[in-house]
A = this chain, B = another copy of it.
Amino acid sequence: MPTDTVKGFPIPSVRRLPLYLRLLRELRADGHEAVSCTQISESLGQGTVQVRKDLAITGIVGRPKVGYQVPELVDAIETFLGWKNTRDAFLVGAGSLGSALLGYDGFQENGLNIVAAFDSDPAKIGTRIHDKEVLDWEVFHDLVQRMHVLIGILAVPAHAAQEVTNAMVLAGIRAIWNYTPATLEVPPAIVVEDVRLSSSLATLSSRLTRQLESQR
């Protein structure tokens, strides 16, 4: 039984929440008190009904003729996503992709703090990338246990993905953000989120291909 819903909440809605959050934070910064679905709809190009449905999953209620209270809504989304407090994460694989993730500061706003990176390449161990330490993969297990880190970011080469995953699970990692193209096998209690850039690229290129075809 694959996890199709996040405990009853439509996954597409959950995936849209960060979109709203970004807009709402901007509005809050601009001093807006309240916002209506109509306004959100116009800014993000989505139907008003969908906006209402999406926001409803956070448990927030709006007032007729007024809309939603912006600060309240920001808070509700952050709470729903578990982004009120930042959570620590370990990154495994300090290759080019891993390095980028270490340097990307956008995760901070989304409740994620990458504490350190791990690699088994002696040339990388001991160095610093974007001000984050690269540690020996050998000490991963110990550090996960000592620091109670729950999130692992997987950015190793595909052929090593399953092996590293197994070690992560054994160490106590509870959620894996998988940047490799590999399909991971994990116990049912472990949360795996695949990024799958190739899927994104697939839709891009097939749409472009058809678009070009239809023009000739």
Contact = CB atoms under 8 A, between A and B. Distances in A.
Interface stretch (A3-11, A30-38, A119-127): A3-11
Interface stretch (A66-74, A106-114, A138-146, A163-171): A106-114
Interface residues of A, number: 66
A210 B96 contact: no
B183 A44 contact: yes
11 contacts: A16-B199, A18-B196, A18-B198, A19-B199, A43-B183, A87-B205, A110-B201, A110-B202, A150-B208, A174-B211, A177-B201
B181 A106 contact: yes
Interface of A: 2-3, 6-7, 9, 11, 14-19, 22, 43-45, 80-83, 87, 95-97, 99-104, 106-107, 110-112, 130, 150-151, 174-175, 177, 181, 183, 185, 189, 191, 193, 195-212, 214
Contact of A191 (B7, B189, B204): B204
Nearest to A9: B206
Count of chain copies: 2
A9 B80 CA distance: 33
B200 A45 contact: no
A18 B191 contact: no
Among A102, A201, A208, the most chain B Cβ lie within 10 Å of the Cβ of A201
